[in-house]
Copies of this chain bind each other. A is one copy, B any other.
Amino acid sequence: MPTVYITAPPESAESIAERLVEDRLAACVNRLSTSSTYRWDGEVQREDEAVLLAKTTDEAYDALVDRVREIHPYDVPCIERFDESHVLESFAGWRAENVA
């Protein structure tokens, strides 16, 4: 099952998380505070952001990515898929039930 790693500005992160759960594109989203260091226009920058870890299913992954692109304030958002090699069966069942 996929966990989707998304970064977002602190002020948008909660509404992205809520939208993904409301729209049944993720069963659960964990939001963590982060400080991001990156290169932009050739300069090293630092910015407070949030990391979202969205728990979804194979079937819903593409629709989740499309929704994030639609509502995310960045033109080039960080959206990455990591696949679990094992998930506790009852939790996997709960996830599948709560994703459309």
Q: Which residues of B contact A30 (CB under 8 A)?
A: 7, 34-36, 49, 51
A90 closest partner in B (C-beta) = B76
- Chain A interface main SS type: strand
Task: Identify which of A1, A7, A46, A78 gathers the most chain B CB atoms within 10 Å of its CB.
Answer: A78
Residues 20-62 of A, flagged 1 when their CB comes within 8 A of B and 0 if not, give 1110100111111111111100001010010101010000010
A35 closest partner in B (C-beta) = B31
Chain A residues in contact with chain B, CB under 8 A?
1-3, 5, 7, 14, 17-18, 20-22, 24, 27-39, 44, 46, 49, 51, 53, 55, 61, 65, 69, 75-88, 90-91, 94, 98
